Structure 1
């Protein structure tokens, strides 16, 4: 196995015998071009069906139980991301766009609150154990969730009002309505402020939750408190499916804590045709 550590905006010590690449806290496409070269060295030509060929298949086997990568690789490439969920999202996005999802991905979170660490089952490990797991743990295929801007979700995403008010939108998971709401002028303590998107460990791929408090932190004095980055989930408001679609007025889309630069009127999150090859304990 070829092991590469991608250290994202941190100076955490790494074994001197490990191939190390230092990049920014949220690595850019230019910084991640090194992954393309590494993948090409391991698998110069991919003999498996392309994404277009998979999409044209008459069945939906590729959207069932997550599958191990079918590429015939005797000496796999494993990339260990040391950084935030946003950094991991950037790496998964690069692998997805380059169609090299066969690359094994380990994760060592450097932030205190990491939804991905919960999702991947490494939250309760010490940093030494997380490094050991990322380097020598087993690979498990997990659904890869992406949005329509081709950004991969590592641990969590959200759709909310651009101005952090109640939502005026309709949100659907597959064929079922998760939320349909028209906001008023005042900002209530609880209401319909958006939806959270989280990947699942199995089919169909994702879960959508209604958020009943503001997604972005509110200024002190408005409610006498700050809300967390993703709001709180309304009890009983959960749907699972392959895709979540939202349409409405001035929507903010956030993926792993990073907001799009401009509001949108519609967005779709859905399961990618290839699964992520995730390293877990």
Structure 2
């Protein structure tokens, strides 16, 4: 086992005896490549950081065909990813990372090859309503104008969940489960795991990768 610390993320004392690699809060490709080179034959990574840092690491594992590596996520506090996978936080997460077993869960990505570990939101540019349409497999999530589209990862198959924010008179949202969620718009801003894209896009797809993630779970 080896600890990968992203930025200034706290490292619980239970992990003190394990070797540690320091990377940026959201590491770039070169940092991750150096980290993976140091990992060597170790087959479990204990990742201390944020959803964005974890997503960046998993993106590189996927692209470099290293998804056989087991991953434990140690977040300081509750996040969309910990909620999606039912993970504890802090010291409890560290103990689970050392003692727990890895299970195969869906790995969600987009068409650019970037992994999503928690939640993505799609909104109109400059605070405007989101215009377009979205499908979860064959089900229409929305068509027309809505405040936002939300896509979340699920630990259960098929792997992706989607919903839209509705006017206040409609209190309950409907969640659609699918292998893939496709979206099209004249222009929309996507926030993935807390990181907002610099430029609007006209379309995107979040879908379950052909290989699963080997994640340490309770």
TM-score when normalising by structure 1:
0.71
Mapped pair 1:199 → 2:153: yes
- Write the distance in 2 (CA, Å) between the matches of 1:12 and 1:31: 19
Deviations 1:66-91 (A, max 9, x none): xxxxxxxxxx6101110111111111
Which is strand-richer, 1 or 2?
A: 2
| Structure 1 residue runs without a partner (length 5+) | 43-75, 183-191, 214-232
2: CA distance, partners of 1:165 / 1:206 = 26
Matches within 5 A, 1:38-187: 38=38, 41-42=40-41, 77-110=43-76, 112-123=77-88, 127-182=90-145
CA distance in 2, matches of 1:16, 1:242: 39
Task: Report how many aligned residue pairs link the two structures.
Answer: 214
C-alpha spacing 1:7/1:34, structure 2 compared with 1 (3 Å): same
Q: Distance in 1 between matches of 2:122 and 2:107?
A: 18
Contact 2:26 2:56 in 1 (8 A): yes
**C-alpha offsets along residues 33-62 of structure 1, whole Å, 9 cap, x if unaligned?**
0344256x43xxxxxxxxxxxxxxxxxxxx
Which has the larger Rg? 1
Contact persistence 1:161–1:249 (CA under 8 A):
no
Cα 1:173/1:11, change in 2 over 3 Å: closer
Moved over 2 A (4+): 11-17, 34-39
Asked whether the 8 Å contact 2:50–2:75 carries over to 1, the reply is: yes
Within 2, Cα distance between the matches of 1:79 and 1:181?
Answer: 43
* TM-score, normalization by structure 2: 0.90
CA distance in 1, matches of 2:189, 2:32: 26
What displacement does 1:212 show?
A: 3.4
Residue by residue over 1:135-179, the C-alpha shift from the partner in whole angstroms, topping out at 9 and shown as x without a partner, is: 221111110110112110111112221222211111111111101
Say which structure is richer in helix. Answer: 2
Q: How big is the shift at 1:211?
A: 2.2
Q: Structure 2: how far apart are the matches of 1:137 and 1:102?
A: 16
Aligned partner of residue 235 in structure 1, secondary structure: coil
- Distance in 1, matches of 2:171 and 2:113, equals 28
For the Cα contact (< 8 Å) 1:211–1:234, is it kept in 2? no
What 5-or-longer segments of structure 2 have no aligned partner?
none
